[in-house]
Amino acid sequence: MERNEAATKNKTTSLKKLDLYPVQNLTERNEATKNVTAFLKNLQFNSRLPHEKSKPPSLVSLCLGIVGKHLEDIIGDLDEIAINFPVDIKIAIASIARRRKLLSDDVIISLADSSWEILDISGSDVSDFGLVKVAQMCKSLKAVDISCCDRITAAGVSEFLLHCHSLETLRCGGSPRSNHAARRCLGILKPKLNDVEGDSWEELVNTDIGHSAQSLRWFVWPNIDKDSIEMMSTECPRIIVNPKPSPFGFRGFEVPREAFPDITLDDPFVKDIDPSAWAVPRFASMGISTSLLSPNELSMAEKFRLAFVERDTRLAPKRAKNARQHQRRAEREWMETSTSAKAIALASKATKSLSSRK
């Protein structure tokens, strides 16, 4: 018994003399202590994970999963069915439709609700018409994602911004056509002074500077070019492009969740729904166009089309001016060569002279 007590005492004394951090530098020793402490906490947290019970899905989530699997069967009558749906059900069905590549103008208009604050139509077939129609119905939108929407143009975004006076976050880009539209939208976001007759800047305090996007604060375009970033930072510094997560915020503002590029806006609305509800069948994925398979490169036909549209827009004022000149020249030649035109001109002169004598 005494031998065992002596052995235990010797071991305790040895452990007290043991130095686990044989580092002479105090800073390195503290850093090593922090690393070990963090590792132990992580190990303790992971050891508790297997014992935690997962929350079972609700009945509503199970029903939405079944509806999502057969969504294409009810899309034709969705405008009549969705009238009686609650707000959370409408936005959940819209999120499933987007993931199933079934979101179009008719679908999003049928499901749109005036209380929506988030709109995610990224990668869908929604066009300018559907986007503007939803903006007219949903006046409280604060975050919108139109990335990879090849049917949305800069003209549609401009009209959309006129109806969204509470919009704070706009996400775009992601495909060649969407990048082209986003690049043309930069001019819309820049402030423009509508009233230049004021005597001082103090008189313009209550004057609208610009014509749209007054409330926009966060602009998310992951593959924006350097020239566009410099232009936005110098000409429109109130709009922050691609903000990065930071515990201290950005320029005194807390960066919202919707402004992070790696966040999907409509994830919270389908978090409890089985992902198999929006699994796209294999035969449906074969119909994807080549433009989506290679999003970083424009096809030759699309390059020619965009070049033609740009050239046509640039030369439109010149063509109108030439048409007016040709019309005036033709009228002058007709007056000089036609006898009836000369007779009309002489008659008008005679009428003027007679009226002046009276």
CB 64 within 8 A of CB 277: yes
How confident is the model at residue 31, as a pLDDT? Answer: 55
Burial code of 218-235, b = ≥16 C-beta within 10 A, e = fewer?
A: bbbbeebeeeeeeebeee
Quick one: tokens of 324?
A: 């007016």
Which one-letter amino acid corresponds to residue 294? S
How confident is the model at residue 249, as a pLDDT? Answer: 62
Q: How far apart are CA 254 and CA 256, in angstroms?
A: 6
| CATH classification (class only), 59-297 | alpha beta
How confident is the model at residue 143, as a pLDDT? Answer: 95
Residues of the chain with CATH 3.80.10: 59-297
How confident is the model at residue 296, as a pLDDT? Answer: 55
- Alpha-carbon distances, residue 279 vs 44, 62, 122, 151, 274 (angstroms): 36, 15, 17, 24, 10
Q: What residues in the chain have per-residue pLDDT under 50?
A: 15-18, 20-24, 36, 40, 43, 45-52, 195-196, 199-210, 282-294
What is the tens place of the pLDDT at every residue in 287-311? 444 444 445 567 777 777 787 788 8
Neighbours of 290 (CB within 10 A): 8
Quick one: tokens of 16?
A: 């007290």
Residues 6+ apart with CB under 8 A from 64: 89, 92, 93, 96, 270, 273, 277
Strands (E), 167-227: 169-171, 218-220
Global pTM value: 0.61
C-alpha count within 13 angstroms, C-beta hemisphere, residue 215: 15
